[in-house]
Amino acid sequence: MQLRDQVYVDGTWVPSTGSGVIDVVDASTEEVYGQVADGTADDVDRAVAAAVAAFEGWSQAPRDERLKVMQAVAQGLADRSDDIAETIAHEVGMPVKWARRIQAGLPVANAQAQVQLLSDLETEQRIGSSLVVREPIGVVGCITPWNYPLHQVVNKVLPAIAVGCTVVLKPSEVAPLSAYLFAEVLDEAGVPPGVFNLVSGTGAVVGEAIASHPDVDMVSFTGSTAAGKRVSELAAQTVKRVALELGGKSANVFLDDADFARAVPPGVRHGCFINSGQTCSALTRMLVPRERQAEVVELARQTAESIVLGPAASEESDLGPLVSATQRDRVRGYIQRGIDEGATLVTGGVEPPDGLETGYFVRPTVFADVTKDMTIAQEEIFGPVLVVMPYDDEEEALEIANSTVYGLAGGVQSGSLERATAFARRMRTGQVEVNGGAFNIQAPFGGYRQSGNGRELGPFGLEEFLEVKSLQLPKSKG
């Protein structure tokens, strides 16, 4: 069992001022896999004070010095990638074969990308007689989720410290152990004391203390829309900047000229079900021409029923369990709601999978004949549940796609790239996969409407942590 009963403040592992610990449960076995400190508001005060004290020196450090540190962090994450993948497979439940590629691989790739991004960053611009400079915003509070625990930590912490900010991190209490590995990597990489601090604990205590702290200049939060609203409320009291990456209910729109046999299976297996559906940008609504629904439903059923469900430690597993009993029960409740509201259950359902009595497993589930007024068409389920929604013409497809409060991601499938791109431009969402276009870590990631504000990744991810200042210079004579 991993015991992490300390917090990381001012370059040192120190005891929390609280006396409790939080159990981290293995999603496949339901056994306690580790424990972390149940941090306090006093711990946050200490961490913020350290970050404030370190800001002046770090913000003025030469870029070459910061680049050297970032290179060491990227190498450290690569060296620890096996440990990271195994840890996240246990605490989140993603099968280890996927955890290696995604949960460990993406953070390494993003860390490596930060080196080049920082090298290329322009921080000064002349506009007439003014010199416009961009400088680090200050102390940043980073509050991260459990579904991609290290990926989200890296997306926030590394851009912030790269541009000269200092950070206080609160990882999710559900899956915090990889953040402790990350702290060790930063410590070994030579990040100066106070530049990075970690306080584990609950959102109600540690998260709220960070969001409301008067010496925190910005909060970057990823999580549910409800929690994001609370962060915004608290942060508004000190008018700090808030960047939010929240929920989604993303549509994967199949136009009538799409190659259904080619595009439906990956749309189910990867677009919707990856990480057992616990992905904010999952394409959970599949919009299809009404006359093609039966064909699509059969392809989706075959794909869902071919998926191997099993423990995260097994190399044979395609999908693992959900992260917790609470999440499992929540998803099963949504499945029952879909049945009760009249959607057609194609495969899956609320019953436990055969042979998997232990672990937080949910059957990969497909619904058909789903209308936009149904709960399962409007609310984020965060589990392996796909809803197939028929439409009669392209305008109706667009209206359905844009009919939720969210706007994080989407997909369009068509035999014509030009047609698919034109449709994608009309979707009110932050990113759209066009004809299976792959996720790009250099492109901005973030949402419209109640999916949040601000952007992560690429140069946009650095700019989130910069303030803009105008120096009004005297006009030259003659």
Residues classed as catalytic:
245, 280
Question: For the chain, what is the radius of gyration of the CA atoms?
Answer: 23
How many CB atoms sit inside 10 A of residue 101's CB?
Answer: 12
Q: Do residues 198 and 188 make contact, with C-beta atoms less than 8 angstroms apart?
A: no
β-strand partners of 462: none
DSSP 100-135: IIIIIHHHHHHHHHHHHHHHH---EEEETTEEEEEE
The span from the CA of 184 to the CA of 227, in Å, is: 28
The span from the CA of 361 to the CA of 311, in Å, is: 9
The overall longest dimension of the chain from CA atoms, in Å, is: 86
Angle of helix 63-79 relative to helix 105-120, nearest 10 degrees? Answer: 170
Among 325, 353, 266, 311, smallest CA distance to 96 is for 311
240: three-class secondary structure by DSSP: coil
Q: Do residues 253 and 287 make contact, with C-beta atoms less than 8 angstroms apart?
A: yes
Among 165, 140, 217, smallest CA distance to 60 is for 165
CB proximity list for 423: less than 8 A, separation 6 or greater: 253, 255, 394, 397, 398, 412, 414
> If you ran DSSP here, which 8-state letter would residue 191 be given?
P
Among 56, 62, 134, 58, smallest CA distance to 471 is for 134
